[in-house]
Amino acid sequence: MSSETPKVQQTAEEEEVLPPLTPFQHTKYNALAKKMQYFHSYLQGEFEQAYEFADGSYTKRGMSFKSYLNSVDQFRMHLTMHHDIEEAHVFPKLAERMPEFRENERHKTSHKLIHDGLDRVEVAVKAFKKDPTKYKPETMREALDSFREPLYTHLAEEVRDLSAENMRKYWSIEDLKLIPM
Ligand SMILES: [Fe+2]
Ligand SMILES: [Fe+2]
């Protein structure tokens, strides 16, 4: 089966109806979205656990207060690392052809918004580690809620923009190998 894809001259704005992808082409073009979705599901799980356990229910899972705070901090570090890797290695290549991955465009702007929220989480965790008597479930949940919407929107939009139907507009199957992910 050929891995050649139709050459598309139009920009993303001038949508044209493209022929349906074969199952082979779809698998190839959708590989990045699939990989990204895997990472995002893991990060969402960590976020939801941090939120759920904030009311003290971490004890039901045999966690101490300290290990709960460590798990929140770990989520913060995992998400930060995920975005740092994207910005250092993946986005620059995508941005060569895809405007949404460029500086000050959708995805990097979303990362910045999310990180304002992560900074709040970091401050809260530090303060509660220093003085556990000051712990308030609502403070932790407010910090997480402060970026819930931008986080979930971003995670979904990134997967959508890496999906087969979008990727095919910018890349040949051969050129997908150039994307370091
Ligand atoms: Fe991502
Ligand atoms: Fe991202």
Model confidence at 20: pLDDT above 50: yes
Determine, yes or no, domain membership for 16: no
- Distance of CA 175 from the midpoint of ligand 2 (Å): 21
Residue 63 CA to residue 20 CA, distance in Å, equals 50
Query: The CATH number of the domain where 121 resides is what?
Result: 1.20.120
Centre of ligand 1 from the C-alpha of residue 31, in Å: 13
Q: What percent of the chain has pLDDT over 70?
A: 92
Specify the pTM.
Answer: 0.89
Can you give the residue range of the structural domain that contains 99?
A: 23-178
Residue 7 lies inside a defined structural domain of this protein: no
- Inform me whether the pLDDT recorded for 150 exceeds 90: yes
Mean pLDDT of the chain: 94
pLDDT at 4 over 60: no
Average of pLDDT values for 57-65? 97
Which whole number is the average pLDDT over 60-81? 98
60 within a domain of the structure (yes/no): yes
Structure tokens that stand for 57 in this block: 């229910």
Residue 151: nearest ligand to its CA?
2
Examine residue 10 and state whether it is found in any structural domain, yes or no. Answer: no
Question: DSSP string covering 38-83, please?
Answer: HHHHHHHHHHHHHHHHTTTGGGGGT--HHHHHHHHHHHHHHHHHHH
State the pLDDT confidence band at 16, using cuts at 50, 70 and 90: confident
Residue 5 domain-assigned?
no
Would you tell me how many other CB atoms lie within 10 Å of the CB of residue 74? Answer: 13
Task: Determine the distance separating the centroid of ligand 2 and the alpha carbon of 12, expressed in angstroms.
Answer: 21
Q: State pLDDT tens for residues 32-53.
A: 999 999 999 999 999 999 999 9
As for how many domains the chain has, the answer is: 1
- Residue 3 in any domain: the answer is no
Per-residue confidence band for 3, with pLDDT thresholds at 50, 70 and 90: very low
Separation of CA 84 and ligand 1 centre (Å): 10
Q: Which listed ligand is nearest to 100 at the C-alpha?
A: 2
Averaged over 124-143, what is the pLDDT?
A: 98
Residues 6+ apart with CB under 8 A from 73: 121, 122, 125
Residue 156 vs residues 40, 126, 135, 160, 166: alpha-carbon distances, Å: 9, 30, 32, 6, 14
Quote the DSSP letter at residue 164: H
17 domain-assigned? no
Ligand nearest to the CA of 150: 2
Q: Is residue 48 a part of any domain in this protein?
A: yes
